[in-house]
Amino acid sequence: MTTDLFRTPSISSQLLTALRAAVLFLVLCGLGYTGVATFLGGLLFPQQATGSLIERNGQIVGSRLVGQAFAGEAYFYGRPSAANYDPTATGGSNLAPSNPALRERAMGDSARIQAKEGVNADNIPVELLAASGAGLDPDISPAAARLQAPRVAAARGLPEQAVLAAIEQQVQGPQWGLFGQTRVNVLLLNLALDDLADNAKDHQ
């Protein structure tokens, strides 16, 4: 006598069970997990969850996580960008170290920096000649910032020591003391100097 205990489920029953499981996990993992993670991220880390955006006078001027181009003698500049600082087109140049086009670009950047900063090629930190992998690195080394200090000080009419002090105030160590290099965020440094100039005007 056979019983239902050992009956093999039909194919349609198996497919229905699999479909129910797929829908359940789609809801749990695709909607539930991401929804909870987004909510907790916004609650615990509100600035980071919105892209670490920086506002001045009610307007967003940039993100502390994304490099951007700065024009004018009064501003520090960051690393070159193969993506032209476009956050929707991140990436490197994909040029091999032996590629003549890469060497030509680096030599052109070196000549431009030498003329702009009044320094020799040997004094230029390597990150000012080499784009990062994403092309949007927001940071430079303290040495790269100090290289630009005389020009920025002259353009702003500030003592060079004041600009150097502003650089030191923006120096950040490795993350958690372990990861990355000592660095200076270019956007935050430029904004700090703008604030310094505004404060000086207010006291005149």
Taking only the tens place, the pLDDT of each residue in 67-103 is: 888 888 999 999 988 877 877 777 777 778 788 888 8
Query: How much is the pLDDT for 167?
Result: 96
The predicted structure's pLDDT at residue 83 = 78
Same domain, 145 and 73: yes
Task: Kindly state whether residue 5 falls inside one of the protein's structural domains.
Answer: no
Q: Encoding tokens for residue 52?
A: 């670490």
- Are 29 and 117 part of one and the same domain? no
* 3 is a domain residue: no
Among 47-56, 115-124, 180-189, which stretch is predicted with the lowest mean pLDDT? 47-56
User: How much is the average pLDDT of 34-41?
Assistant: 73
pLDDT at 6 over 90: no
Are 95 and 153 in a shared domain? Answer: yes
Query: Do 105 and 169 belong to one domain?
Result: yes
d(CA 175, CA 26): 36
| Residues 117 and 169 both lie in one domain | yes
CA 164/CA 152 separation, integer angstroms: 10
Please compute the mean of the pLDDT values over residues 132-144 and round it to a whole number. Answer: 87
Share of the chain above pLDDT 90, in %: 36
State whether 40 and 59 are in the same domain: no
**Strand-pair partners of 59:** 56
On whether both 71 and 139 belong to a single domain, the answer is yes
Shared domain check, 117 and 20: no
pLDDT of residue 199: 64
pTM listed for this prediction = 0.73
pLDDT class of 53 with cuts at 50, 70, 90: confident
How many domains would you assign to the chain? 2
- Per the model's pLDDT, the better-predicted residue between 89 and 47 turns out to be 89
Nearest-angstrom CA–CA distance, 135 and 140: 13
Taking the C-alpha atoms of residue 155 and residue 164, their distance in angstroms, rounded to an integer, is 14
Angle between helices 186-202 and 142-156 (to 10 degrees): 30
Distance, in Å, from the CA atom of 30 to the CA atom of 54, rounded to the nearest integer, reads 31
Task: Name the residue range of residue 119's domain.
Answer: 53-202
Asked whether residue 90 falls in the same domain as residue 32, the answer is: no
Mean pLDDT of 128-150: 90
Question: Residue 204: pLDDT above 60?
Answer: no
